[in-house]
Amino acid sequence: MILIDRALERRAADDNPVRVAVTGAGFINRGMTNRILNHTDGMDLVVIVNRTPENAIRCFAEAGIDDPIEVTTVQALTKAIETGRPAYTTDFTVATRCGLVDCLIEGTGTIFHAAPIVLDAIANGQHVVMLNAELDGVIGPILHQKAQSAGVIYTGCDGDQPGVQMNLLRFVSGIGLRPLVAGNIKGMLDYYRTPETQKKFAEQWGQTPEMVTSFADGTKIAFEQAVVANATGFTVAKRGMIGPDFDGFIDDATQFYDLDMLEATGGIVDYVVGTKPSPGVYVYAVHDDPQQHIYLKYGKLGDGPLYSFYVPYHLCHFEVPNAAARAVLFEDATIAPSHGPHVDVIAVAKSDLSAGHTLDGLGGFDTYGLCERSDVVADDDLLPMGLAQGCTLRRAVSKDQAITYADVNVPTGRLVDQLRSEQAAMFA
């Protein structure tokens, strides 16, 4: 928030707010709409893009706006912005092709629906903030390359775990240490959770059972850590990451990491289940100057050789606008896949699945996601988790079996598959 707050204050004083469009109108976006409209001087949410207009209207209503206008053309949106009228639309091109929109925040959490939206925003010169680790984990590197070619910023967001980790990594590197672990703290993990087991919890928080299931079954954390790996060049120690269970404090979880292994890999992404503080993120780092070890101990960071740093929270929708401000005002990406594909998320069967079965999507009944090195994914022709939905099994697969392309028929004509192939060719 340092620098950002002052820069936004200047934009407010000049009556020149950063104008953002938001896609999606779910639980997180409802809170974010309120945050931007009522608590963020120097920024304005000018349009919500959502396939269900009633949900967009609800976003505005919960922020105290009871008269948003529906727009169906770029000209109509331009007029609404110029007259200060909040707007919504079902047609994403109305937002992505409007020259008054500075930044698009992609918050649908979808794969196939979101891809053309992000592409169109980039092509039309808009910065893009991804509140969508899933799409970023599948084709983020190629989207980042396209954004660079278009002269715009493509970035993950502050507040979500990957962005919080990257901010912490930058801090740790900035004070002279060398990070070797970037990690996520989880309260629980059960690969076999389903929308049925998570239905009650989802209803309690106004979220979809599938979204909540992706949190519980490990798919979400796999995508988050893949995003961090692709932004840092880190890898995974093994398929699925190490992921120890530990009920102590995060500072003491350094015991689960072998320094020689970390040095050999150049750094890993990982997670710990059940540790304190939760939720949060952590970074373990070394310092190569022995003299500085004295000062690290003086600073209550212990004897090393791994020094622990953590953030005990991630305040997603509260912080996402910071990423938009960083992109627009400073051309600074919170987190971007600048190292290309290092880690992917693969689809693994939750149960025995029969030939002819069509796979459901993220957080469904059929599959969970695990991190794997991108070179292994390519060599073994493994099916990315983000592309599994709609694929039909050619043959039976067993519970906990990683699914390969040879096991499935992939639907034809999907944009994300085309972009994935383009990404593979670019980074081969």
pLDDT digit string, tens, across residues 286-317: 999 999 999 999 999 999 999 999 999 999 99
Q: pLDDT per residue over 235-289, tens digit each?
A: 999 999 999 999 999 999 999 999 999 999 999 999 999 999 989 999 999 999 9
Please give the structure tokens belonging to residue 15.
Answer: 């009556």
Task: Judge whether residue 322 has pLDDT over 80.
Answer: yes
State how far the Cα of 279 lies from the Cα of 221, in Å rounded to an integer.
Answer: 12
For residues 407-415, average pLDDT = 98
Axis crossing angle, helix 209-216 with helix 219-232, rounded to the nearest 10 = 70
What is the architecture, at CATH level 2, of domain 4-159+317-330?
Answer: 3-Layer(aba) Sandwich (3.40)
Partners of 272 in beta bridges: 185
> Containing H/E element for 372?
strand 367-373
> Which tokens belong to 343?
């880690």
Model confidence band, residue 203 (pLDDT cutoffs 50, 70, 90): confident
- Mean pLDDT throughout 375-393? 98
Where do you find CATH 3.40.50.720 in the chain?
4-159+317-330
pTM recorded for the entire structure: 0.97
Q: Is the pLDDT score of 211 beyond 90?
A: no
pLDDT tens-digit map of 116-159: 999 999 999 999 999 999 999 999 999 999 999 999 999 999 99
List, by residue range, all CATH 3.90.1210.10 domains of the chain. 343-426
Question: Coil, strand or helix: which one is 21?
Answer: strand
The yes-or-no verdict on residue 207 having pLDDT over 90 is no
Query: What share of the chain has pLDDT > 90, as a percent?
Result: 96
Residue 1 pLDDT > 90, yes or no? no
- Reference 309, options 199, 194, 404, 185; nearest CA is 185
The answer to whether 407 and 383 have CB atoms below 8 angstroms apart is yes
Mean pLDDT over each residue of the chain, to the nearest integer: 97
- With residue 128 as reference, give the H or E element that holds it: strand 127-130
Phi, psi of 125 (to 5 degrees): 80, 25
Instruction: Give mean pLDDT, residues 145-174.
Output: 98
Does residue 189 or residue 207 have the better pLDDT? 189
Residues 6+ apart with CB under 8 A from 305: 259, 286
- For residue 339, the one-letter residue type is H
Tokens of 265: 């890999």
Token digits for 127?
Answer: 């910065």
The answer, yes or no, to whether residue 41 has pLDDT greater than 80, is yes
Tell me how far apart the alpha carbons of residues 197 and 384 are, in angstroms, rounded to a whole number: 24
8 Å CB contact between 305 and 277: no
Split at pLDDT 50, 70, 90, the class of 3 is very high
For residue 332, give Cα distances in angstroms to 74, 159, 192, 405: 28, 15, 39, 37
Report the candidate in 305, 308, 301, 300 with the shortest Cα–Cα distance to residue 289: 305
Assign a CATH topology to domain 343-426. Answer: Type Iii Antifreeze Protein Isoform Hplc 12 (3.90.1210)
Task: State the Cα–Cα distance between residues 87 and 67, nearest whole angstrom.
Answer: 9
Question: Is pLDDT of 329 > 70?
Answer: yes
Tokens of 58: 């609800």
